[in-house]
Structure formats: structure tokens, C-alpha cells
Amino acid sequence: MLPDFYNELGAMHGTIMVFLGVVPLAVGGFGNFVLPLQIGAPDMAFPRLNMASYWFFFLGGVTMLASFFVPGGAAQSGWTSYAPLSILAGTGQTMWLFGMIFLITSSLLGAINFITTTVQLRATGLTFMRFPFFVWAQFVTAFLLLLAFPPLEAAGAMQLMDRLAGTSFFLPTGLVVSGQVLQVAGGGNPLLWQHLFWFLAHPEVYVLILPAMGIVAEIIANNTRKPLWGYRSMVYSLVFLGFMSFIVWAHHMFMTGMGTAMAAFFQTTTMIISIPSVVILTALIISLWGGSIRYNTPMLFAVGFLPMFGIGGLTGLPLGLNVADIPLHDTYYVIAHFHYVVAPGTIFALFAGIYYWYPKATGRKMNETLGKIHFAGSFVCMNVVFMPMFLVGLAGVSRRLFDGGASYAFAQPVLHLNVVSSWGAWILALFQIPFIFNFFWSIRKGEKVGDNPWEATTIEWSAPSPPPHGNFLHAPQAYRGPYEYSVPGAAKDFTAQYEA
């Protein structure tokens, strides 16, 4: 593989997975389907805006994918598109910028819709503290999208100006490229791009994880047949987390020479933001305590999420500390850390959500046996893929090397681990086949179930499966909190939110 093509794949993998994969699925998909159902709304508040959001997303996706076919290929400067490299790159980068502006617009419109829907269209009696945790997660996520994305849009516009109009927002004076001083006005600041990019991209990390936490919380409460432990502290942590995520961004930039005072500040805020994440994870683990747990497929994925996100989160702490970050920065350790959060973390939660809400969307359950094969295989392989990367990273091997470190002497002792990761990845892909088959097969052949197959308490289960236009037959009302499982003295082990 040519180095250039490797760089294209690297940059576009990040961009596609984050902006065309997880965000549309976790926010666009689950948000648009589950959120209105859970708050008892007939639809999103602005259906046309929703459609516009979809079409902007479509345009952005097409632009991104089409960029592979322009001369010079797709963007090669990483999903972070750091200046000045990105400004000197080929046409693919311009396509990337236009694609991003479309995708950002799509997310913005979506976020406006989510917040308005949550505030305005919730059922009578559904106060904020009666929201299912998933609704809270989507609500906070929408604020992050709304306020963090515009600065990247501004940055994207400035990078476009640099590329197309010859400005020097991100180009310093006297920049030397291939031995020649670049003929531009200069006076710009490459760090400015990094600040603007990470001002979006750090909240973006929480955009990737919060909906996942919401899904996991729903499934754990349902399958332990217990209320969530510490619902209120989870909600407060979530809101605090959302707020803090706006003031931690420069912990991605410890190595840029931005100064020790800045680094100390962002190191401190980073340590503070780990507290609410730990509170939420701990509350979810304690929720398992003493429950009579049903190990169905959604629950397996939800429980699998906990240690995987735990590993991802805890390995992030050394990266958040200025001193420990120096040897670890830009190594495979970072790759392993981030992927533990989003691959076995977020993606497991998304799988859990698909298995859990599938009966609501289709009226049929997915096959349990295939689901369990899918889970077991994925769980093992995810660790085979990403655990070795911690070791490779600790040995100091940098990421984004097209030969995987083969040309470096110090990398030789750990190179065989790359092979382990690769095998893990291929087998992981094989274990997705049962899921894909199950997903399509169950649409027609899955076991038919009623409106509330999991005996859940939240409002979405009072709608017919699949929900008709307008979602509910009668406007639902909320009479109590979201997780009234195993209430002492009650006739059955769950009392639905919508039951008078």
C-alpha cells in the first residue's frame, strides 16, 4: 500500500466513523426513533427541519465519499486536519471541508430539533426528573452539538479561505515547504486551527459516548428488574459532564508548546471531568447489585459495555496528565484508549440498543442464539484487536505509520502484536455476519411479540409495534418515575410510567 493511500484511509476512517457512523446512528437514529417515543411525543417538533437535516447529512456523506475519486485522492491530513499540512494538501481536503460544513449543518438542525422536542413535546406529567436516562443523555448531547459544532464551521470556513482565497489564518510567516519559503502573507497561527478543532472535537467525544450511556442505563434497569441506583446523581453528573466538556479541549494539545500555565489549567479540568464519568459508570455497576439479572442479548452487550468503557476511560487518565502524556502522545496507546471508549464501548451500546428496541421498530424480536454468538465473538475479538495496541503504544510506536513501525529498530520487539490485532480484526468482522443475517432475517421471520416484550416501564412500550404515524393511539401521560421495577407490594414486578 502506498503511503499516500494509507494516509487517505487513516484520515477518512476517522471522519467516516465519527461523523458518518456513530453520530448519525446514536443521535440521528436512536435519537429520532426512541426519544419522541420515550417522552410520549407524536413526532419530532420540526419534521421538515428533520428532513433538511437528513438531506444535509446525505450531501455531506456523498461529498466525503466522492472525495476518494478526485485527483490526488481523499483528505490525508488525519481526521483532525491539522494546519498547515491540510492547507497544502490536494483537492480531497477541499471536499472534506465542504463535506464537514454539510455534516455540521445537519447536526445543528438535528440538535435544535432534539432540544425543542424534549422541552415542548413531553407528555403531560413527564417532568424532567421523570425522564428516562436515555432522554437526558440525548438532551445534553444536543446541547453539545448545538454549541460546539459552530466553531468548527467557522474554522472550516477559515481553512477554506486559506485554501481557496490564499489567506493565511493558519499559515505562519516564513513557513518553509520542501526547502522553499511559502509565498503567502503569513502572520497566521497553526495552533488556532487546533484550538478551534478541539473545541468541537472534545465535546464530540462526549457526543459519541453519552447516547451510549443512555442506552446502557435503560437496558440495565430493565434487565436487573431494579430502579437505576442513584438516578439523580447520574443526571446531575451528566449535566456537569456536558458543561465541563467545553473547557477541557486543550488536553489534546499538551505537546504543542502552548505553555505550562495553559497545560496546568486543562490538566486540572480534565481530572475534574473524569469524576462525573466515574459517577455514572459506578452507578451503573452498583445497579447490578442484588438484581435478578436476565442475560438476554441486549443485556449482555450492555454489561459488556461497562468494563470496556471502564478500560477506555481509565487509560485516558495518563493521557490527561501533562507529564504522562509526553511519552504516550500520538502513540498506539492513544488509539487503543480511544477505541476502547468508542468501539467496544459505544458500538456495544449501539448493538445493545438495536437488539433492545428492534421489537418496537418491527414487532418482532431478533434471534437470541445468533445474538449471543455475535456478542461472545465480538467481545473476545474487540479485546484481541485493541489490547495489544496498549503494549505497542507503551513501547513507543507512533500511530499513522504506513508500515506500522517496521522501519524503526525500537519497534521490532512489538511488531508481532500488529499481526495479533489484524487477525483479531478479521475474525471480528466474521462475527458480524450473524448479526447482519439476524437483523434482516428477523424483519420477516423473527418471533412475533407484543407491544412490551421486555416488560419495561418507560413510555415507548405503550405505543404499538411498529409505531404508526403519530406514534401513539392515545396521548400518553406520565404518572411516576421511569424505573419502577420490583416495587414492594405491587401486583407485578414492574409498574409502567404510563399506567394510572
Partner 1 sequence: MDIPYTVAVRRDTGLTNGKIGIWLFLASEVMLFGALFASYILIRVGAPSWPRGDTILNVPLATFNTLVLISSSVTMVMAWASLMRGRLGTFRLYMGATVLLGFVFLVVKYFEYSHKFESGLFPSTNNFLAIYFTLTGLHMLHVMGGMAVNAYFMGPGAKQWKSNPVWFTNRVEHAGLFWHFVDLVWIFLFPTLYLL
Contacting positions for partner 1 (CB under 8 A)? 42-43, 45-47, 49, 108, 111-113, 115-116, 119-121, 146-151, 153-155, 157-158, 161, 165-169, 184-185, 187-189, 192, 195-196, 199, 470-472, 475
Comparing CB distances to partner 1, the nearer of 66 and 185 is: 185
Comparing CB distances to partner 1, the nearer of 165 and 409 is: 165
Q: Smallest distance from the beta carbon of 95 to partner 1, in angstroms?
A: 20
Q: Smallest distance from the beta carbon of 118 to partner 1, in angstroms?
A: 10
Q: Smallest distance from the beta carbon of 471 to partner 1, in angstroms?
A: 7
Comparing CB distances to partner 1, the nearer of 16 and 101 is: 101
Comparing CB distances to partner 1, the nearer of 28 and 40 is: 40
Phi, psi of 398 (to 5 degrees): -75, 155
Q: Residue 34: CB partners within 8 Å, gap ≥ 6?
A: 134, 353, 357, 360, 460
Name the CA radius of gyration of the chain, rounded.
Answer: 23
SS3 352: helix
Could you tell me how many residues make up the chain? 500
Comparing CB distances to partner 1, the nearer of 6 and 46 is: 46
H or E element at residue 302: helix 297-314
Q: Smallest distance from the beta carbon of 418 to partner 1, in angstroms?
A: 39
Q: Residue 261: CB partners within 8 Å, gap ≥ 6?
A: none
Q: Smallest distance from the beta carbon of 266 to partner 1, in angstroms?
A: 17
Dihedral sign (CA 317, 315, 211, 290): negative
Comparing CB distances to partner 1, the nearer of 153 and 484 is: 153
Q: Smallest distance from the beta carbon of 474 to partner 1, in angstroms?
A: 9
State the amino acid at position 9 in one-letter form: L
- The span from the CA of 500 to the CA of 496, in Å, is 9
Place of cell 467516516: 16
- The span from the CA of 170 to the CA of 37, in Å, is 45
CA angle 424, 308, 324 (to 5 degrees): 95
Comparing CB distances to partner 1, the nearer of 430 and 473 is: 473
H or E element at residue 50: helix 47-66
SS3 331: strand
Q: Smallest distance from the beta carbon of 256 to partner 1, in angstroms?
A: 14
